[in-house]
């Protein structure tokens, strides 16, 4: 499902962000680490491997970035981070595309989920519902729509006495069109939107082997997605939610880190996609979380345990900005 590497286009990133810290420009194309290391706040660099695939570790007060030539997944503070383009070797130096520098690296070093007012509204979106059952637990007559609703209700309960008002796009087994979920968040003037799902690769021949959690946010304009579905992934397309590129990846990384820590899931990383209508039309920071694989017998059994779903809920709660 994850596409191969792409030939980077000659794009110049001169767009202004909504965050002052990110208002900077870079020349387009592929940039050696030395061209952006200090700009992105890294105080030290260490070569991890000199032979192919050459790899490097960059350290900043905010965290540690590790990346390797030819690999589209870097690591930020130990968590997998999907890049648009794999790092390459340019004149003996490890180099990265300027859009990955600005939309991933610089965003994570300096970005924040912007300060919220005392009134904080979180919309939780339990995936599927009604006739749309979602995936089925392997060997059981339990469906994704039931498990996502349970997960959402647990989050709502855990945050009852917090600063957050938690609203659900559905609180029962009913079908809710994707755009209705977006419009609900608009009507509630939501600060954040988190869509909950479980993964499945049933029928692919490898579904029983896949495991782990992953968190998605919208792909920034100019970058290829980490995963595609149904149509050509056009990097020229710009959606309403792209205004929140920085906040999206910061929120996604917080959630993914929390999920891995609290549930001991395999880390499938923070990933980018454009095909998710429920994200791309949002006018607020928005992510979609896949809590595990229902097609994996062992992981499915865990997900069916209420205690495990409670940990999933706690992971979301603990990742929210204060």
Write out pLDDT tens, residues 144-190: 999 999 999 999 999 999 999 999 999 999 999 999 999 999 999 99
Q: Residue 115: exposed, middle, or buried by beta-carbon count in 10 A (0-12, 13-18, 19+)?
A: exposed
Domain with CATH 3.30.457.10 in the chain: 20-110
* Cross-sheet strand order for the sheet of 73-76: 44-49, 55-60, 63-68, 73-76, 79-82, 267-273, 213-218, 286-293, 192-199, 120-126, 164-168
pLDDT in tens, 54-98: 999 999 999 999 999 999 999 999 999 999 999 999 999 999 999
Q: What is the mean pLDDT of each run of 10 residues along the chain (322 residues)?
A: 33 35 67 96 96 97 98 99 98 96 97 79 98 95 98 99 96 97 98 98 69 98 92 89 98 98 97 96 98 96 98 98 84
Sign for the pseudo-dihedral over CA of 316, 229, 247, 190 = negative
pTM for the full predicted model:
0.90
Region label for 168, one of left (φ > 0), alpha (ψ between -120 and 50) or beta (otherwise): beta
Between CA 93 and CA 30 the distance in angstroms is 11
- Region 120-319: CATH code: 3.40.630.40
Domain with CATH 3.40.630.40 in the chain: 120-319
* Paired strand residues for 273: 218
pLDDT at 24: 57
Pairing of strands 120-126, 164-168: parallel
Give the contacts of 163 (CB within 8 A, at least 6 positions apart).
118, 120, 322
- Region 20-110: CATH code: 3.30.457.10
Between CA 222 and CA 218 the distance in angstroms is 12
């Amino acid at each position: 499902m994850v596409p191969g590497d792409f030939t980077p286009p000659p794009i110049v990133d001169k767009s202004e962000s909504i965050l002052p810290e990110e208002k900077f420009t870079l020349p387009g194309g592929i940039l050696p680490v030395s061209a952006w290391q200090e700009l992105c706040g890294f105080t030290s660099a260490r070569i991890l491997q000199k032979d192919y695939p050459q790899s490097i570790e960059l350290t900043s007060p905010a965290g540690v970035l590790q990346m390797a030539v030819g690999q589209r997944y870097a690591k930020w503070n130990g968590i997998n981070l999907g890049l648009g383009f794999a790092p390459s070797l340019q004149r003996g130096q490890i180099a990265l595309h300027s859009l990955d520098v600005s939309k991933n690296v610089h965003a994570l070093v300096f970005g924040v989920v912007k300060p919220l007012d005392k009134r904080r509204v979180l919309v939780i979106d339990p995936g599927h519902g009604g006739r749309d059952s979602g995936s089925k637990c392997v060997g059981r007559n339990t469906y994704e729509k039931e498990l996502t609703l349970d997960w959402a209700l647990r989050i709502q309960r855990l945050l009852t006495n917090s600063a957050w008002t938690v609203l659900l796009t559905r609180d029962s087994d009913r079908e809710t069109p994707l755009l209705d979920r977006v419009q609900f968040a608009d009507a509630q003037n939501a600060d954040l939107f988190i869509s909950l799902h479980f993964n499945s690769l049933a029928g692919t021949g490898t579904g029983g082997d896949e495991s782990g959690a992953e968190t998605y946010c919208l792909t920034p304009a100019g970058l290829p997605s980490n995963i595609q579905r149904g149509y050509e992934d056009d990097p020229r397309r710009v959606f309403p939610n792209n205004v929140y590129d920085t906040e999206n990846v910061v929120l996604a990384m917080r959630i993914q880190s929390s999920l891995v820590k609290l549930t001991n899931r395999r880390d499938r990383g923070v990933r980018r996609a454009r095909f998710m209508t429920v994200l791309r039309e949002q006018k607020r920071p928005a992510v979609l979380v896949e809590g595990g694989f229902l097609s994996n017998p062992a992981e499915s059994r865990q997900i069916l345990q209420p205690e495990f779903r409670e940990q999933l809920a706690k992971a979301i709660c603990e990742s929210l900005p204060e």
